[in-house]
Amino acid sequence: MAIYHLSVSNVSRASGSKATATLSYISGRRVHDERRGETYDYGRKERVLRVGTLLPEGAPAEYADPAVLFNAVELHETGRTARPAKKIVVALPREFTPRQRVQALEEYIRENLNADGYAATYAIHEDREGNNPHAHILVANRQIDPATGGWARLKQRMEYVLDERGERVPLIDPETGRQKTDKRGRRQWKRTSVSLNPLDRKAKLKALRESWANTCNARLDETARIDHRSLEDQGSDLEPTIHEGYAARAIERAGGVSERCQTNREIRRSNSLLTAVRAELGRIFDRLGELFAAKIGRLRRRQARPEPAEPNWRYFEGDARRQLEADKADHTAAIRGKLMDARADVGNREEWWRSHGTEEHEAAKQIIDVARAASREARDANIFKRGRLLRNAEQVAGEQSERLRRAVPWLEDADIPADWDQANRFRMRTTKAIYDHDMQPRTRLVAELERRLEQAERAESERPSPEQVKALALRMAEQRAQAENPTQDTKRPAPSGDEPLDLSEPEDWGEASPFESRQAPRTKADLLNEIRQRTDRLTGQREAEQRQIDPWSAQPPQRRGHGR
């Protein structure tokens, strides 16, 4: 289930943090700090799935390298308490595919950060089990001037402090109790530093939280939507969970029991119980409303029209039972024939795959083989050429990945690895994915027909219920009475929708029941004759289909008297 999380923190020199060190941690790469002359290389590289940098309009092209970008902002910020960057951490919904994660992140950064002149680098992480997908967004905490391509000049300014009447507040000397003055005798007033950086404003932070929820919800199903508001703002009385933290989760992974994690488990258990109780009460009240409305409707119809006299249906009881059994048998035979055709279609398609494949498969193999050739060349190269050829293999893999996405747009994983072994495994996975995608409609049809056949055989082995027999016999008796007296109105009242399902109604099997089109009273012998004729007609159709000549295996006719 998708969860919402977004937190913003400062990379501040006063607390000992540096933008370059933070970049090394989130990207899992070695980063050299030019201002301090130090090199940072920490962070678990196996957790980093993707790293990207997005720049605003007018930014220098070299800032596309995150190391160059955050070294530049570190060198520009000279204060001891400077905050060169901000870090935003967001939780990625588990429902997202790898491609949707990247799309959501880049759309969010462009609309909320690049549009205001900020450059940012993002890194997508997962834990060891792949259960905690999240992203770190490192933002340079100074805007870029699109006209010059340099950093904006001011991030804050000094303003006078005003009281409730809008007047300046004097600066009082604690020793004398009077207003302070400078050397020239001018009075001093209280002043405060006001940030001109939009990222330091509360309204901007609220907009960032809401925008991330909207970006994710645009790609999520209605049942998995997330909400950036707190439970209190949502008007919910569910108890919120507490922050667990890395240390508490480490205790749990080591086999221990963390107090914070245990508290959250109890909170989730009570919240889920409360939610289930409310949902069950809602279903009960909805059902009560439906039953009450149906009861009122039946009472009103009964008052408006008296119940017609029930005709004598016992005379047709045996015919109705036999007709129901024959309909069930016909239905089972029709499903069995469709199942045989579907299985034959699956076998033919598998044979076709072994000998031909599909256009998408051939196109994907050709695209992947181009990247495999580049990776094989890099693998077999000597030590002097390997670096250049590895970079070339990565470039070719990226270009071929874009071609693969255009050739097979429904393929979820279209990122071709630049490594030879991984590219071979990727080729096998892609072949299996294309095969499964092509065979899925046919295998799904076979499974559905097997399920329907099992239901039909189970229904065929059961005797028709008395209600079904009576319903069909009544219709036969009504048709008999209407045929004897055409002027008499024997129509049944309009159904209310609350009646039980009548299985005697013929489905879409090619023709209706013989009892539906009868215009004159007939004997039991006539009815049995019609059933026998219908059975013979269906049997003849099946035999004709089986005798149909296959045009691919038919031999040409032999011409007599003209051969040489």
Map 377-397 to HEC letters.
Answer: HHHHCCCCCHHHHHHHHHHHH
Output DSSP code: residue 15: G
Long-range contacts of 480-485 (CB under 8 A, 24+ apart): 480/316, 480/521, 481/311, 483/518, 483/519, 483/520, 483/521, 484/521
- Which residue, chain included where needed, has tokens 């215009």? 519
> Residue 511: is its pLDDT beyond 50?
no
- Which residue, chain included where needed, has tokens 């969970």? 241
Under the banding of pLDDT at 50, 70 and 90, the label for residue 510 is very low
> Residue 421: is its pLDDT beyond 60?
yes
State the Cα–Cα distance between residues 29 and 23, nearest whole angstrom: 8
pLDDT at 268: 80
Helix (H, G, I), strand (E, B) or coil at 134: strand
pLDDT at 526: 66
State the Cα–Cα distance between residues 521 and 191, nearest whole angstrom: 106
Q: Between 559 and 537, where is the model more confident?
A: 537
pLDDT at 234: 57
**Residues with Cβ < 8 Å from 110, sequence gap 6 or more?**
54
pLDDT at 235: 54
State the Cα–Cα distance between residues 7 and 134, nearest whole angstrom: 12
Shortest CA distance to 91 belongs to which of 52, 49, 48, 126?
A: 126
Rg of the chain (C-alpha set) = 38
Tens of pLDDT, residues 349-367: 888 888 877 888 888 889 9
Count Cβ neighbours within 10 Å for each residue of 257-273 and write b for 16 or more, e otherwise.
ebebbeebeeeeeebee
**Encoded tokens for 262:** 């245990």
> Residue 468: is its pLDDT beyond 90?
no
Average pLDDT of the residues in 540-551: 55
CB 209 within 8 A of CB 228: yes
Average pLDDT of the residues in 139-168: 81
Please give the angle made by the CA atoms of 26, 31 and 34, to the nearest 5 degrees: 130
CB 392 within 8 A of CB 418: no
pLDDT at 156: 63
pLDDT at 62: 93
Q: What is the pTM of this model?
A: 0.43
